[in-house]
């Protein structure tokens, strides 16, 4: 059985690539003379500059019989290879071979020695012909049925491979840039901690010593205490800034956990209701944007805790098929419209968040009402935000369908962290 399958496979391969073509039609019975082709040239028409080999076998031929080969042009049959050499001898092993000009079809006639072949004819002769065989010319490989589909498949594979290679190269470059940025941030944080922050702490300790040595009724003591209080605030803010600069990759990867720790980092006042609400199954963020996403959310939360005088602050994390959405909402005093538009002099919080959002291709929005609270929203497209979208980027209609399904309450995975 396996040998039979191997033979069938070999014949199929030969037929596919045109190396073993043996299509013929012949006249005569199985016991009388019979002709077959073993090699048929490629198909062509009326090309006098080109000559190809044509071969075959003959069975039950009589002594003195010969082969006459014809090639069909556009309308007529032409004797081959030339008008002065129309006959082909049959070898002792019953094989024959000749030359022929290109034709759409080829014919081999078994005739006697006294046969007078016409040089051209509209219809192949039959009188005086003992056997005949006709075969169509072999098609060039680019004319075969399988050639266009193979070209399409190969072209698609090349385009897909080039696209994947390009994505891989871009991903490597972005990852290298992210690692360089993270290393630079760590270095800056270390320098600030070892120089500026430590220097301020040393100066503060010396001022404390001086303040302790001053008498209680000294007129300089209140001023010195205010200076010490200000320096303490500077040290606390510096520590929070360094903590943000050195935020670990793991914290930025798990946004829910990272945002939940911010109130403790800031020393959250008691009485503020803080929640982190997650909608949808959390997805891994791309390394090149997750630091910016975390920094934007952290800055919004820091502003809410420090300046809003709110009773409750909520963070909504929405992992949807089309986007990552982060919403920081408070019920505080709101922000002045002019500050929302152009920022506060000497402060770069809002402008920094906008710049980060623009850099990663996200949409950033601030909505604030006087005594009605503030909403800070960040929307990052899924193909930018999530790692999984780089390899399984579904068509747009599928993502929209998936998003509509996700919108149902039963499909959301909601979790809350109350602080």
DSSP character string of 279-336:
ES---PBPHHHHHHHHHHHHHHHHHHHHHS--SEEEEEEEE-SSEEEEEEEE-SS---
Model pLDDT, residue 224: 84
Residues 336 and 368: their CA atoms lie apart, in Å, by: 8
64 closest CA partner among 83, 44, 35, 90: 90
Report CA-CA distances (Å) from 135 to 19, 34, 40, 59, 64: 15, 14, 8, 17, 25
- Give residue-wise pLDDT tens across range 211-261: 888 888 888 888 888 888 888 877 777 776 776 665 544 444 478 888 888
Hey, what are 334's tokens? Answer: 């709101």
337 closest CA partner among 358, 307, 367, 310: 367
Model pLDDT, residue 244: 62
Hey, what are 240's tokens? Answer: 């929070």
Residues 106 and 26: their CA atoms lie apart, in Å, by: 12
- Give residue-wise pLDDT tens across range 121-179: 999 999 999 999 998 887 767 767 788 899 999 999 999 999 989 988 887 887 787 77
Residues 310 and 75: their CA atoms lie apart, in Å, by: 95
Alpha carbon 377 to its chain's center = 29
Hey, what are 118's tokens? Answer: 């016409």
pLDDT band at 325 (very low <50, low <70, confident <90, very high): very high
Hey, what are 265's tokens? Answer: 């980092």
Q: Which residues contact 185 (CB under 8 A, 6 or more apart)?
A: 245, 246
pTM above 0.85, yes or no: no
In the block, residue with structure tokens 């030969």: 14
| Cα angle: 379, vertex 384, 387; to 5 degrees | 120
Hey, what are 221's tokens? Answer: 């003591």
Q: Residue-wise over 182-218: b if at least 16 C-beta within 10 A, else e?
A: beebeeebeeebeeebeeebeebeeeeeeeeeeeeee
413 or 291: which carries more pLDDT confidence?
291
- Over range 76-101, report the average pLDDT: 89
Greatest extent of the chain over all pairs of C-alpha atoms, in Å: 147
Q: What is the DSSP string of 107-162?
A: EEEEE-TT----SEESS---TTEEEEEEEEPBPPGGGSTTHHHHHHHHHHHHHHHH
Q: Are 119 and 84 in contact (CB under 8 A)?
A: no
């Amino acid at each position: 059985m396996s040998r039979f399958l191997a033979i069938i496979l070999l014949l199929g391969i030969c037929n596919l690539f045109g190396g073993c073509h043996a299509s013929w039609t012949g006249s005569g019975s199985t016991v009388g003379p019979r002709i077959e082709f073993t090699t048929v040239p490629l198909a062509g028409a009326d090309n006098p500059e080109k000559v190809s080999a044509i071969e075959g076998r003959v069975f039950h031929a009589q002594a003195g019989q010969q082969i006459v080969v014809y090639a069909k042009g556009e309308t007529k049959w032409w004797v081959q290879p030339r008008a002065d050499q129309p006959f082909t001898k049959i070898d002792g092993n019953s094989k024959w071979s000749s030359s022929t000009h290109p034709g759409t079809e080829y014919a081999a006639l078994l005739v006697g020695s006294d046969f007078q072949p016409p040089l051209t004819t509209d219809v192949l002769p039959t009188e005086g012909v003992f056997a005949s065989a006709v075969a169509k010319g072999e098609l060039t490989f680019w004319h075969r049925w399988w050639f266009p589909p193979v070209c399409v498949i190969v072209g698609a594979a090349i385009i897909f491979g080039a696209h994947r290679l390009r994505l891989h190269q871009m991903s490597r470059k972005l990852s290298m840039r992210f690692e360089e940025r993270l290393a630079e941030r760590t270095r800056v944080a270390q320098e600030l901690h070892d120089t500026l922050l430590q220097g301020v702490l040393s100066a503060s300790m010396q001022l404390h010593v001086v303040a302790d040595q001053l008498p209680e009724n000294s007129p300089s003591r209140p001023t010195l205490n205010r200076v010490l209080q200000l320096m303490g605030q500077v040290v606390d803010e510096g520590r929070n800034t360094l903590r943000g600069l050195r935020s670990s990759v793991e914290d930025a990867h798990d946004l829910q956990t990272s945002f939940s720790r911010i109130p403790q980092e800031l020393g959250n006042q008691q009485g503020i209701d803080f929640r982190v609400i997650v909608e949808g199954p959390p997805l891994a963020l791309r390394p090149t944007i997750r630091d910016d996403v975390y920094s934007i959310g952290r800055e919004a939360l820091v502003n809410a805790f420090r300046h809003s005088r709110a009773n409750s602050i909520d963070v909504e994390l929405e992992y949807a098929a089309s986007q990552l959405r982060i919403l920081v909402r408070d019920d505080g005093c709101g922000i002045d419209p002019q500050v929302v538009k152009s920022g506060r002099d000497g402060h770069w919080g809002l402008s920094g968040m906008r710049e980060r959002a623009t850099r990663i291709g996200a949409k950033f929005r601030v909505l604030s009402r006087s005594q009605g609270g503030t909403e800070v929203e960040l929307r990052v497209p899924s193909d930018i935000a999530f790692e999984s979208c780089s390899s399984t980027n579904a068509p747009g209609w599928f993502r929209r369908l998936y998003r509509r399904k996700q919108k149902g309450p039963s499909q959301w995975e909601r979790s809350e962290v109350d602080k």
